Chains A and B, each alone.
Chain A
Amino acid sequence: DAEITQSPRHKITETGRQVTLACHQTWNHNNMFWYRQDLGHGLRLIHYSYGVQDTNKGEVSDGYSVSRSNTEDLPLTLESAASSQTSVYFCASSDAGTDTQYFGPGTRLTVL
């Protein structure tokens, strides 16, 4: 069955380290998204992509980067992790021409 997966599911890192969170979908969806979820803020859009080689900044993109080298993957990189980036990160995907997004199970990141 087609699905969207995230890895790792849990990650603890130290301030200043580079961290990459993986997102992989097998639906062949053109659109992929990264959100972070924090208490009191709901879900906030970090970056998104509408296809290979396309990336766009979302509401809270500072300190994060993404790259889209193929349809299936959109890794999220924290260049220099900060404690403010402790959060739960969700990846999502959707087909071209539709807004309906399907979410991965999330990655809980703790920056010490």
Chain B
Amino acid sequence: GEDVEQSLFLSVREGDSSVINCTYTDSSSTYLYWYKQEPGAGLQLLTYIFSNMDMKQDQRLTVLLNKKDKHLSLRIADTQTGDSAIYFCAETLNQAGTALIFGKGTTLSVSS
């Protein structure tokens, strides 16, 4: 079945770049997503990439997609303490069409 894997923790210093990695299994996913969850809150859509793209840049965020290796990454430039959160990678649940399968989430801790 579909599965999404992420490393669980990442710790960086303020001002450094953060790279959060994800691997997925369903190569037919049309879109791949990054969601952010701040403490005590719901998930907020951060960015997404269409499956026929290799890269997408949105201000401090860069998403890289390697379809051959089924690898997705999220790079946050100039990481700030406000970026501390849990980041979830998600792919489409192929059988259902638009339901999503989430990874377990990567907790990003930013120290000043």
Contact = CB atoms under 8 A, between A and B. Distances in A.
Interface of A: 31, 33, 35, 40-45, 48, 50, 56, 58, 90, 92, 94, 97-106
Contacts of B101: 45
25 contacts: A31-B98, A33-B100, A35-B102, A40-B104, A41-B104, A42-B88, A42-B103, A42-B105, A43-B88, A45-B100, A45-B101, A48-B99, A58-B99, A90-B42, A92-B43, A98-B98, A99-B48, A99-B92, A100-B31, A100-B48, A101-B45, A102-B45, A105-B41, A105-B42, A106-B41
Given A42-B88, A106-B42, A94 B102 contact: no
A99 B42 contact: no
Given A100-B45, A105-B42, 10 more contacts: A41-B104, A45-B93, A45-B99, A56-B96, A92-B43, A97-B98, A99-B98, A100-B31, A101-B45, A101-B100
Contacts of B105: 42
> Among the interface residues A42, A56, A58, which one has the most CB atoms of the partner chain B within 10 A?
A42
Contacts of A97: 98
Contacts of A58: 99
A33 B101 CA distance: 12
Nearest to A105: B42
Given A40-B104, A58-B99, A103 B43 contact: yes
Nearest to A42: B104
B33 interface: yes
A48 B30 CA distance: 19
B44 interface: yes
Nearest to B44: A103
Contacts of A35: 102
Nearest to A43: B102
B106 to A, nearest CB: 10
A39 to B, nearest CB: 9
